[in-house]
Amino acid sequence: MADTLLSIRDLRLEGRAERGWVPILKGVDLDLKRGEVLGLIGESGAGKSTLGLAAMGYVRDGTRFAGGSVTFDGRDLLKLSPRERRRLRGNRIAYVAQSAAASFNPAHRLIDQYSEGPVIHGVMSKAQAEADARELYAKMRLPDPDRIGFRYPHQVSGGQLQRAMTAMAMASRPDLIVFDEPTTALDVTTQIEVLGAIRDIVAEFDTAAIYITHDLAVVAQMADRIKVIRHGEEVEEAPTREMLAAPREDYTRSLWAVREFRADPAPAPAPDEKPVLSVSHVTASYRTGPAVLQDVTFDIHPGRTLAVVGESGSGKSTAARVITGLLPPDGGEIRLGGEVLPPRLADRSREQLRRVQMIYQMADTALNPRQTLREIVGRPARFYRGLRGRDLDRDIRQLLEDVELDPDEFIDRYPGELSGGQKQRVGILRALAARPDVIICDEVTSALDQIVADGILRLLKRLQVEHGLSYMFITHDIATVRAIADHVVVMQNGHVVEQGPKAEMFAPPHAAYTDLLLSSVPEMDPDWLTRRRGEMRA
Amino acid sequence: MSPIVRMILGRLALGLLSLVLVSLVIFMAVELLPGDIAQEVLGQSATPETVAAFRAELGLDQAAPIRYVHWLGGVLTGDLGNSLATGRDIGSMIVDRFGKTLFLAGYAAAISVPLAVTLGILAALYRNSIFDRIVNVATLSSISFPEYFVAYILILLLSINTPVFPSIADFGRDPSLGDMLYRTFLPAMTLVLVVTAHMMRMTRASIINLMAQPYIEMARLKGVGPARVILRHALPNALAPIINVVALNLAYLITGVVIVEVVFVYPGLGQLMVDSVAKRDITVVQGCCLVFAGIYILLNLLADVLSIATNPQLLHRK
């Protein structure tokens, strides 16, 4: 085919493991025409980022090409010298990374990073590149495009950085851009703007793109064709509408189905039922700066799940810090089972501490890598419940069985020997080992793939029923709220915007902000983004 | 007031406070020295009466807290007092000797800092290569030997076996710069060998630490070559730890030269301090210690300020 830009044939890649090299990509084919957008979808570890980088002839440290070819515009990238490959990167093939905040160099201004590529490749002079940057910043609808480039990355918001990075990738007008989960780290209302800007600029310059994501609804908006990857192999590939309408493979169908999980909602609390935890009129701030919580009030009822929804900066995590005593509030009070909790962690009794436990977003960093599961789970059981010796051992084993981890196999493992989903199960166990009344779950599924996250939600629901637990579920993900919440609190800028039972919250009329949040969640319909942006302009 | 100026003033105030605390520690430590100058000067045969009279003349008969307050008062007004042994003004004694010490430290720093940073960058660029290993082994061995050993080895090689450089670093009045550099070459080399390893290894480690950052991968994916990745993308972000370790070593070059000055009979501040300890000339010892402490505090303050000045996140607020 004359207009084929990129052609990958039987690409095999290996990664270094404890025992020699293990395959990561096991013979993948991929074709891309000029101006075409291919969506690459799969769970983490499926090899989709590796494949995206391989399309640039790039492998990360600890991985290597093991065979096959990557033909870009008639030349096999794997046969080129490192210098020749460098000449193509940032010039004819560009890359947009997942976290713009981490991928911009903190030491340099945005515009200097923009012009670096075109200047070292001799495409433009520094002055030309700077003039060009302003133009592209404007096209990406960045505020104040003439001056924003003279800021440092930390002075610009995440959504703006992601657009600045797309502009930077466009700097040399490449033939191909690899987008590696460019909106995964963004709030939904920001994501919709970035998606729109990316789609427009790719269309305007007729740039071909590989769009990597784990979010089906997002890929449905962006791609002409979708390729599903699993365990380093292709599952299936089809034009977007065809794939959405009629996925052929079971695995693809299971990806579709996970968004369908709905826990049975618990019955609404009786009017005279006492809440297990109540937050009333809480105002809080960090040492320097304005109030981050203003007059926040909500109740958590026994055996129910309260979802606290909001975007980053809305104060939802601060609310958790106030409840746990990490951040004493400036005003208001917190009651646990009717008694007022001392504001400071140090003033709370062990029994009060036991009753409120926490599960964190990043199980990776929340678990001590030098402790075995026996120590991690055993510590709260010993500290709060005084278990010792054989009783303690029996309890730890029982807990591991509770979350479907075989005690004989796992009890002496370290967190490093677990998968992401297994680590989060241990995070749940550690909270459960204290036999708490309330567990605060802070974005516990955000870092997980949809299928794994789905498993965690089901597990949490089952534990709730078995142990009569109450959850405060902090999340920015509306799908998670739909799946698990009984009662919903919507927060924005430290205020509670709206709250009520889930059924009411998802049915109109909404507060304006709730409406914006709900309508910004991507839908599987490929026309959703076009329609939604039309509505927003109207 | 800009936050940087406020920070500098705050640190200066803290530095002064530490200096006062250090002066107390110095005073007490010197008090613990056995014997005193009266016995040292008058010798074994002195009668108790003459010793007491001599002490009274020097003011040593007063209680320690009173002497401390008296001394501190003088220091705060810029008067370090007079030498017990010679009666000379300590301030002028120190200024002369301190100049010599600074010269030697500056000489060693002018060689070792660029050398260490360059070697560190090259080792990071060619990490795990033969070059990297040789540099690491060489610098590590030089740091592992005590400095008097390094000094005597250099003397043996370069002034006894092949007499190129003098083993005594004293120079008369008004020497030319070339002569000074020539005569202090061996002590400067000794110091270079001792401090380079630390700075070089920190430079290498700080840069390599950053190589796993996403912005380094981004730079590579923009087609940036390996040397530019390190110099333009890694080094600016590694400056804070490098500056700190350089400051620490500069402070060491000034305050840690005592042994090297003694070995090479170099008339610097360290030599003055050692002589004064032997003579129980405690006011001079106190003065020297205080100058050393002040240098330490000042250089660390400078490192803090520079670390902030090279960090856009602290320099340019949101």
Kindly determine whether residue B221 and residue A89, on different chains, have CB atoms separated by under 8 Å. Answer: yes
Kindly determine whether residue A154 and residue B318, on different chains, have CB atoms separated by under 8 Å. Answer: yes
Give which of A12, A6, A39, A38 is closest to A27, Cα–Cα: A12
Q: What is the mean pLDDT of residues B284-305?
A: 88
pLDDT in tens, A39-56: 999 887 788 889 999 999
Which of A271-285, A429-443, B65-79, B139-153 has maximum average pLDDT?
A429-443
Of A69-78, A116-125, A509-518, the poorest mean pLDDT is in A509-518
**Residue A12 belongs to a domain:** no
ipTM of the assembly? Answer: 0.81
Same domain? For A475 and A338 the reply is yes
pLDDT beyond 80 at A267: no
pLDDT number for residue A381: 92
* CB–CB contacts below 8 A, A to B: 77
B225 vs A contacts (CB less than 8 Å): 83, 86, 120
Of A354-363, A422-431, A448-457, B134-143, the poorest mean pLDDT is in A448-457
Same domain? For A238 and A281 the reply is no
Residue whose pair of structure tokens reads 């020699």 in the numeric block: A20
Same domain? For A115 and A168 the reply is yes
Give which of A224, A196, A195, A200 is closest to A210, Cα–Cα: A224
pLDDT beyond 80 at B194: yes
Residue A178 β-bridge partners:
A95, A210
Give which of A110, A170, A172, A177 is closest to A136, Cα–Cα: A170
Residues 120-139 of B with CB under 8 A from A: none
- Closest residue in B to A121 (Cα–Cα): B223
Nearest to B222 among A60, A90, A152 (CB): A90
Residue of B215, B237, B311 to mutate, testing the A interface (most A Cβ within 10 Å of its Cβ): B215
Same domain? For A373 and A497 the reply is yes
Task: Give the three-state DSSP class for B293.
Answer: helix
Distance CA A168, CA B106 (A): 45
Residue A58 vs residues A67, A424, B101, B217, B240: alpha-carbon distances, Å: 14, 32, 53, 10, 31
Same domain? For A287 and A325 the reply is yes
Task: Give the three-state DSSP class for A416.
Answer: helix
Kindly determine whether residue A117 and residue B313, on different chains, have CB atoms separated by under 8 Å. Answer: no
Identify residue A449 by its one-letter amino acid code: D
Mean pLDDT of chain A: 89
- Closest residue in B to A155 (Cα–Cα): B318
pLDDT number for residue A477: 84
pLDDT in tens, A207-235: 999 999 988 889 999 999 999 999 889 99
- Closest residue in B to A168 (Cα–Cα): B222
pLDDT number for residue A150: 92
Q: What is the mean pLDDT of residues A84-95?
A: 93
Range of the domain at A464: 277-507
Looking at the structure of chain A, the number of domains it has is 2
pLDDT in tens, A397-451: 999 998 888 898 889 999 888 888 889 999 999 999 999 999 999 988 887 877 7
Q: What is the mean pLDDT of residues A483-492?
A: 91
Report yes or no: B219 at the A interface, CB cutoff 8 Å.
Answer: yes
pLDDT beyond 50 at A1: no
CB proximity list for A484: less than 8 A, separation 6 or greater: A263, A305, A307, A457, A460, A461, A471, A473
Kindly determine whether residue A103 and residue B223, on different chains, have CB atoms separated by under 8 Å. Answer: no
Residue whose pair of structure tokens reads 């040397």 in the numeric block: B227
pLDDT number for residue B109: 94
Distance CA B180, CA B98 (A): 15
**Residue A79 belongs to a domain:** no
Distance from CA of A184 to the nearest CA of B (A): 16
In this structure, are strands A277-285 and A291-300 parallel, antiparallel, or unpaired? Answer: antiparallel
Nearest to A116 among B212, B224, B313 (CB): B224
Q: What is the mean pLDDT of residues A100-107?
A: 91
pLDDT in tens, A249-262: 888 888 877 666 77
Question: Which CATH fold would you assign to the domain B96-276+292-304?
Answer: MetI-like fold (1.10.3720)
Distance from CA of B222 to the nearest CA of A (A): 4
Return the percentage of chain A with pLDDT > 70, whole number: 99
Same domain? For A253 and A290 the reply is no
Distance from CA of B1 to the nearest CA of A (A): 17
**Residue A529 belongs to a domain:** no
In this structure, are strands A21-33 and A277-285 parallel, antiparallel, or unpaired? Answer: unpaired
pLDDT number for residue A136: 92
CATH number of the domain that residue A200 is part of = 3.40.50.300
pLDDT beyond 60 at A165: yes
pLDDT number for residue A272: 79
In this structure, are strands A438-442 and A356-359 parallel, antiparallel, or unpaired? Answer: parallel
pLDDT number for residue A504: 85
Of A94-98, A189-193, A263-267, A322-326, the poorest mean pLDDT is in A263-267
Q: What is the mean pLDDT of residues A295-317?
A: 90
Q: Which pair of structure tokens corresponds to residue A193?
A: 């703007």
Kindly determine whether residue B223 and residue A104, on different chains, have CB atoms separated by under 8 Å. Answer: no
Kindly determine whether residue B312 and residue A103, on different chains, have CB atoms separated by under 8 Å. Answer: no
**Residue A269 belongs to a domain:** no
Q: Place A473 in a pLDDT band, splitting at 50, 70 and 90.
A: very high
**Residue A71 belongs to a domain:** no
Q: What is the mean pLDDT of residues A97-119?
A: 92
Nearest to B214 among A61, A103, A151 (CB): A103
pLDDT beyond 90 at B229: yes
Nearest to B316 among A56, A104, A155 (CB): A155
Nearest to A105 among B215, B317, B318 (CB): B215
Report yes or no: A120 at the B interface, CB cutoff 8 Å.
Answer: yes
pLDDT beyond 90 at B28: no
Q: What is the mean pLDDT of residues B45-62?
A: 79
Residue whose pair of structure tokens reads 């008067």 in the numeric block: B79
Residues 398-427 of A with CB under 8 A from B: none
pLDDT number for residue A448: 81
pLDDT number for residue B27: 86
Preceding amide of A509 cis, omega within 30: yes
- Closest residue in B to A150 (Cα–Cα): B316
Same domain? For A248 and A312 the reply is no
Same domain? For A444 and A481 the reply is yes
Nearest to A87 among B218, B221, B223 (CB): B223
Identify residue B224 by its one-letter amino acid code: V
Distance CA A142, CA B173 (A): 68
pLDDT number for residue A258: 63
Mean pLDDT of chain B: 86
pLDDT in tens, A361-386: 888 889 999 999 999 999 999 999 98
pLDDT number for residue A379: 92
A323 and A472 Cβ atoms separated by less than 8 Å: yes
Return the percentage of chain B with pLDDT > 90, whole number: 27
Nearest 5°: CA angle at A508, between A506 and A510?
85
